[in-house]
Chains A and B, each alone.
Chain A
């Protein structure tokens, strides 16, 4: 908008767009900026590492090596370089987190916007459902769903695409399951925004011009809830990453030889014994997960302060 106007009138060129002002405020938030730099470098390194490193993901005789100049994070039970494993784990954890959060975004925005827009009895029922789901142990359903439906999905993938479908089946179930338990807060927030927006005059105007409910939702309401949605997407991300590593830790998430941070921690915890302590096998994956979660949390908090200063809701 600002650019369009500034082409016509010179005096308005000094004005700042809302996004630019938000960026300026975000930049002043030191923890959020540090976290962003860390996250971006982590992603870059995690993507590039397999091409740069000579160690690869190969099994070797160097079993349980302590951290050294060659193996920065030591080696694991199969003699694999732990540094590369942790990076690979971070990549998978971030991928699952991102896709899971996007699934939750789609469900949450759809549910919340529909409830807010339809209003009345529909709104009542849809939000009651959300209340009920809030008070259910949803992750238990995810565990049951993953363990029960895995065989079905795997069989279906193998019959349609051929090949071994177990890895794909796990990924699909993880994305769907994690998305399905994380959309509740998003739905509540979007509904609140939509309720406020639909009373605004520009919505009234489009309605009087004969625009249908869905067009109003798509063209006028959703663009306006975009900022808040992005904020809660960033706040959902660490929660999904945490759930994923939790499931992987239990052996229900990512399966070997693939690694996620959770399954790496599980591998490390399995090696705990009173005789020898392979501390690096726990410390580095755990540190990686904690650093990743912290970075995501700081960025989410920073974005929330910028876009949604009034909110104190943490759920």
Chain B
């Protein structure tokens, strides 16, 4: 990948994020109800007016958006400031993200590692045993994994490995022991998907002419599989890593909810129900930035692995 193309893609992120922030901003505002509707005591009109004035919700919409972006105002998105949360008083959206994001990222990373670490070997193995019973067994396991989403596997694992035989903690977030069940819960689905993709990629790669050539030259079978075929067979997995990361984030809502993990996934659903405007927009932007960047990284890796691909 040429440097110019990379920089162009990087520069494209800025207008994209602006468009996304605008759509998200408008979407939460057209919704009926406001952030102060569900206060414990019914707020008097005066209090509500004061609250609205404090958070500038009585300004015209365009002015609020400019304030959010930070054009002509202090702070704002362009200075990396998402503003105050409307529901969690005295906390800025940045604070909440700073607390939850590391937890969610760690969970996502471990699950990602788990799904690749299990899926790729399983895929290679089934591809090499193609047509035999090992292949059928492996393929069945991987399709079974694809059909058991996190919110099905999670409760079952909790009941068996958390309550019946209390090997693992059933929830919360502490030492490395707490990471295992959530990560397995989240990663199993993707391990199955990765295994299926690896199997298809590897079976195709193994039929290529360059493999026959390598065989004819007397290259060892191990070297053929891992140094020649894998390089091409892994490409479908690399392509899929972008959507995989997106789905990992989605799955993390459920897993964080299930295991009571203090990540940021829990906030998205609650905040959009509570009409916590700044929080929702902030989270949408955060997720989009994360994903767009990761997708760019995936494309770079793809270009390195497959020299035939030219971007531009």
Contacts and interface: CB of A to CB of B under 8 A. Distances in A.
Interface of A: 132, 134-141, 143-145, 147-149, 151-152, 155, 238, 242, 245-246, 249-252, 262, 265-266, 268-269, 272, 274, 277, 279, 282-283, 286, 289-291, 293-294, 297-298, 312, 314-315
B246 interface: yes
B69 interface: no
Given A143-B268, A151-B32, A277-B164, A286 B254 contact: no
A149 B26 CA distance: 12
A250 B273 CA distance: 12
24 contacts: A134-B242, A134-B295, A135-B291, A135-B295, A136-B246, A138-B246, A140-B284, A144-B272, A144-B280, A148-B31, A151-B33, A242-B149, A246-B254, A249-B254, A265-B155, A269-B151, A269-B155, A272-B159, A279-B159, A286-B148, A289-B149, A291-B147, A298-B143, A312-B200
Contacts of A293: 146-147
Name the 10 nearest CB pairs between A and B, nearest first. A148-B31, A293-B147, A135-B295, A151-B32, A147-B272, A286-B152, A269-B155, A137-B287, A294-B147, A249-B151
B144 interface: yes
Given A147-B31, A283-B156, A297-B143, 9 more contacts: A132-B16, A137-B246, A140-B268, A143-B272, A149-B30, A246-B254, A250-B253, A250-B257, A312-B201
B113 interface: no
Interface of B: 16, 20, 24, 27-28, 30-33, 143-144, 146-149, 151-152, 154-156, 158-159, 163-164, 193, 196-197, 200-201, 204, 236, 239-240, 242-243, 246, 249-250, 253-254, 257-258, 268-269, 272-273, 275, 280, 283-284, 287-288, 291-292, 295
Contact of A262 (B16, B151, B158, B258): B151
A282 B258 CA distance: 14
The main secondary structure of chain A at its interface with chain B is helix
Given A137-B288, A283-B156, A312-B204, A148 B27 contact: yes
A18 B108 CA distance: 46
A158 to B, nearest CB: 13
Which of B32, B147, B204 has the largest count of A CB atoms less than 10 A from its CB? B147
A27 to B, nearest CB: 19
Contacts of A143: 268-269, 272
B236 A294 contact: no
Contact of B155 (A272, A291, A294): A272
Given A151-B31, A268-B155, A144 B291 contact: no
Contacts of A136: 20, 246, 288, 291-292
A77 B212 CA distance: 62
A245 B280 CA distance: 23
A58 B148 CA distance: 30
A152 B32 contact: yes
Nearest to B28: A148
A262 B33 CA distance: 28
A294 B151 contact: no
A138 B31 CA distance: 19
A137 B164 CA distance: 36
A290 B201 contact: no
Contacts of B236: 312, 314
Contacts of B146: 293, 297
A151 B280 CA distance: 17
Contact of A144 (B24, B257, B295): B24
B242 A135 contact: yes
B287 A282 contact: no
A148 to B, nearest CB: 3
A143 B272 CA distance: 8
A78 B212 CA distance: 65
Contacts of A238: 147
B311 to A, nearest CB: 12
Contacts of A297: 143, 146-147
Contacts of A294: 143-144, 147
Contacts of B250: 137, 139-140, 246
Nearest to B272: A147
A95 B246 CA distance: 26
Contacts of A242: 149
B254 A250 contact: yes
A269 B273 contact: no
Contacts of B273: 147
Nearest to A185: B243
A314 B28 contact: no
Nearest to A139: B250
A136 to B, nearest CB: 6
Nearest to A155: B32
A314 to B, nearest CB: 6
A272 B149 contact: no
Nearest to B253: A250
Contacts of A138: 246
A137 B27 contact: no
B158 A272 contact: yes
Contacts of B16: 132
B28 A144 contact: yes
A135 B292 contact: yes
Nearest to A151: B32
